[in-house]
Amino acid sequence: MTDTATQNVIAFQGEPGAYSHQACRHYRPQMEALPCRTFEDTIEAVRSGRAELAMLPVENSTYGRVADIHHLLPESGLHIIDEGFVRVRISLLAVPGTKLSEVSDAMSHPVLLGQCRGFLRRHAIRGMVGADTAGSALEVANRGERSLAALAAPLAGEIYGLEELASGIEDRQNNTTRFLVMAREPDFGRRTNAEGGTTMITSFVFRVRNIPAALYKALGGFATNGVNMIKLESYMVDGVFTATQFYADIEGHPEDAHVARALEELAYFTSSLNILGVYPADPLRAIQSQATAAE
């Protein structure tokens, strides 16, 4: 597992030029990025030792959580060691020499198509569903048709030799995706983020015991101990309506006295509790909190 050939590799899902690839470049620029076909393949690359880390998207500020990720994380055997926020800037990419007026169709992932409706409507461009964003850019490059463009990250245009006809064309200018950096071994050490911030985030999943008001009682410990819970999501387990697992993010480190008390109370009312990771809060969290408070 410590082969030096893999110690500087970070895996991501998608083709080169995907937004996950962009996240790798931004948050781990010194590492070689390894593209993988699926999220499962990305996780397995780390588990098998082909990669040291994995970069996985978990939620988008416009479209919510990424499907399947919360099911995969608890079973992955990996641990969250960092988080990062990537601003989703969308470009219209075409073969070199193409004019915007020549483009009649734009290919991309359905989610990205939905983020550029205004631009596409203004320029009478039809949306075409592609497998993913970077894969659509590759398809446009391979087909070489001036009438067909791709909606993707500027990085995809750089990689596949496409020309940027328009940039920043997303309808919402604050569209951001949150990524988690995963590793084989946990890191519970206290550490600072890129700007020296000391706030730590603890992520965990749990299932409540089958007793009346179990969830209410389980969460009460966070309120009484002054722990800020910044995310709580539920999802079914194994397709059974009666089996529900919860994913949560809280501010603080498990060794903080008030966090330790809250987790102890939570454990009493749960049938399972699994800490997925302890890591520094991305600087963007503080910026977003300040913006929200100013509104």
pLDDT tens across 6-45, in order? 779 999 999 999 999 999 999 999 999 999 999 999 999 9
The answer to whether residue 38 is catalytic is no
The single residue of 12, 85, 179, 206 carrying the catalytic annotation is 179
Q: How far is Cα 196 from Cα 274, in angstroms, rounded to an integer?
A: 28
- Between residues 68 and 200, which one has the greater pLDDT? 200
Largest CA distance in the chain: 67
Cα–Cα dist 254/286, whole Å: 21
The H-assigned helical ranges of 131-183 are: 133-143, 154-160
pLDDT (tens digit per residue) in 135-191: 999 999 999 999 999 999 999 999 999 999 999 999 988 888 999 999 999 999 999
**Of residues 294 and 58, which shows the higher confidence score?**
58
For tokens 């454990």, the residue is 267
User: Average pLDDT over the chain, rounded to whole?
Assistant: 90
Q: Give yes or no: 177 in active site.
A: yes
Confidence of residue 293 (pLDDT cuts 50, 70, 90): very low
Active-site residue among 6, 133, 177, 270? 177
Range 217-243 average pLDDT: 84
Distance CA 252, CA 231 (A): 13
| Residue 105 and residue 150 in contact, taking contact as beta carbons nearer than 8 Å | no
Question: Rounded distance, CA 224 to CA 196, Å?
Answer: 29
